[in-house]
Homo-oligomer: A and B are copies of this chain.
């Protein structure tokens, strides 16, 4: 049973830091839900999971999950409660963590496949919001989720937790240069919709004009500052979620939910050609 002082635990603990994740190309998926989805992803893409760490208590509580890990040929290592706590930044660590390989998909590959819908986070800073939007992108059938500019690291432990496993379900793309991203989205024939509390069009108008029918990249900004001015200028439209009552605005994750679902539901209503 490894303690928090064992070399492998000390090394894995460092993956809570972004710099270490960048160096190694590895990250930690924390909690039963994330570990279950990581193991399931291993079947499609061997090498996703490098090692599973589990406490005795968590092992007894998640026998089916450990069976799946063994069946997939994964290394399962029993660790002490303190070692498990060292691998988590959660307030209440669950005692179950997978060390995983970071898989990023090049933007060119995503665009070459003719995507119908992309979720793009530009400068989004809060890991909980970012993870929630990855979960929404998965729920609405987005073809990929793009993290652009100085957005939070999608493999940040809080972000991974907020995705509740969806991080393993769809391609994750990182594009540091937002201007280049804008150009490539347009070249690929995607309608680029910038979202803002003060848009030129609201979502009802976008729908009435038939724009929800188009293959679209939906851009979401930072909690505090929204999208950069240059992004709004380069976008095909700046879209607001309509406010029918007296609320001043919506928060980022609920606005993203409304936009992505409106688009996904419009796509479903459209008769297939």
Contact = CB atoms under 8 A, between A and B. Distances in A.
Contact of A164 (B136, B248, B255): B248
Interface in A231-266: 241-251, 253-258, 261-262, 264-265
A132 interface: yes
A186 interface: no
B204 A268 contact: yes
A44 to B, nearest CB: 11
Interface string A126-145: 00000010011111111000
Interface stretch (A4-12, A94-102, A165-173, A220-228): A165-173
Chain A's interface: helix, strand, loop or mixed, by majority? helix
Given A241-B261, A261-B241, A261-B262, A136 B248 contact: no
A3 interface: no
A135 B261 contact: no
A247 B138 contact: yes
A178 interface: no
A164 B264 contact: no
A135 B251 contact: yes
Contacts of A262: 261, 265
A33 interface: yes
Contacts of A253: 253-254
A169 B135 contact: no
A52 to B, nearest CB: 20
Contacts of A136: 247, 250, 254
B245 A140 contact: yes
28 contacts: A132-B251, A132-B254, A135-B250, A135-B251, A136-B247, A137-B245, A138-B245, A138-B246, A139-B247, A139-B249, A140-B244, A141-B245, A164-B247, A164-B249, A166-B245, A166-B246, A204-B268, A207-B265, A242-B268, A250-B257, A253-B253, A253-B254, A254-B256, A254-B257, A258-B258, A261-B261, A261-B262, A262-B265
Interface of A: 33, 132, 135-142, 164-166, 169-170, 203-204, 207, 241-251, 253-258, 261-262, 264-265, 268-269
